Amino acid sequence: MDRLQSIRVFIAVADAGSFAGGARTMGISAPSATRGVAELEAALGARLFARTTRQVRLSEPGRAYLEEARDILAQLQAADEAASGTAARPVGILRITCPQEFGRLHVGPLITDFLDTYDRVGVEVIMVDRLVNLVEEGFDVAVRIGPLPSSELTAVKVGEVRWVICGSPGYLAEQGGPMDPLDLPKHRLIAAHNNAAATQWRFGADEACIVKIQPRLIMSSVAASLDIARNGWGLTRALSYQIVRDIEEGRLQTVLAEYEPAALPVHLVHVEGRRAAAKVRAFLDFAAPRLRQILNSR
């Protein structure tokens, strides 16, 4: 097995967490995958995996080599595309990660239009409410909500969102709305676990006002907490993009608008910068203006 193929097999095994899974990804037999990694380890003089009878995990040298190996293959792909003239033709599988509700409401609908436009591209969207490492987990593009930490990622800002407190018109008519954040503990509150600090809600442009709440109901889903708020049981906290249609159609109303914390930026981030593959550039050019129109018009 040549060196580049051995590197590709190594990456596939690392991503799958097993030789059998990596072999399936590469379309080869498990013994061939084992042999390819062994040849690479012999050439490097280092063990890339720690093997047990139950699992295969990256060794410390393996973790370091994985990132470099991905970069090597990305550079090779860019060079191949430039030489063959395919750099301008989006092809292949595009892997995208985004928060669950943002993905459901905004990424999913535009993905189908993107696929209809670029018929040689496939898309895999993973919706998770955690910070994903694009390099280690093999993603091309991520939607990030909030300030970006210092990194080598390339970011394209597409808008801003805000934390808001909301409830149904019926609940607010019956119970009255809070006049101050400190009034919130007097209300029936619904919190969502995947909201940051579910029991500490921050207010004000500098977030200096922190209200410790004791919600009577905690949900693991933002969508479920909003359903309950729509039905008039209590107040909940959400990001502004999650309730736009509810506000427009009168199912929910916001309260304490004058106490809202500063807006959070929304970015599309990717790894390769100017060397980004055609499929990544095409998606950014397609998605960024549509997301800006959605987020900045509200």
**Whole-structure pTM value:** 0.69
Cα 262 to Cα 75: distance, rounded to the nearest angstrom: 39
| pLDDT for the residue 124 | 95
Domains, the chain, with CATH or none? 3-84 (1.10.10.10), 92-158+264-296 (3.40.190.10), 163-259 (3.40.190.10)
Distance from the Cα of residue 202 to its chain's centroid: 23
What's at 249, amino acid-wise?
E
239 CA to centre of own chain: 15
Question: What does the CA dihedral 282, 158, 144, 98 come to, rounded to 10 degrees?
Answer: -50
Q: How far is CA 258 from the centre of its chain?
A: 30
Distance CA 136, CA 17 (A): 12
Hey, what are 129's tokens?
């409410």
Taking Cα atoms as reference points, which of 297, 34, 253, 251 lies closest to residue 158?
297
CA dist 130 and 115 (Å) reads 26
Tell me the DSSP string of 150-196.
Answer: S-S-EEEEEEEE-EEEEE-HHHHHHH---SSGGGGGGS-EEEETTSS
Q: What pLDDT is recorded for position 82?
A: 63
Sheet containing strand 154-161, strands side by side = 121-127, 92-98, 141-145, 264-270, 154-161
99-148 residue pLDDT tens: 999 999 999 999 999 999 999 999 999 999 888 888 888 899 999 999 98
3-class DSSP assignment, residue 107: helix
User: In the chain, which residues have pLDDT < 50?
Assistant: 196
Tokens of 162: 């805000």
Question: Could you tell me what percentage of the chain is helix, strand and coil, using 3-state DSSP and rounding each to the nearest 5?
Answer: 45, 25, 30
**What per-residue confidence (pLDDT) applies to 141?**
96
Cβ pair 6, 39 in contact under 8 A? yes
* Under 8 Å between Cβ of 187 and 179: no
| Exposure string for 46-83, b = 16+ CB within 10 A, e = fewer | eebbeeeeeebebeeebeebbeebbeeebeebbeebee
- pLDDT for 249 equals 95
Residue recorded with tokens 């693991």: 220
Distance CA 209, CA 207 (A): 5
Beta pairing, strands 253-255 & 217-219: unpaired
pLDDT at residue 198, as a whole number? 66
Among candidates 119, 118, 99, 121, which has minimal Cα distance to 108? Answer: 99
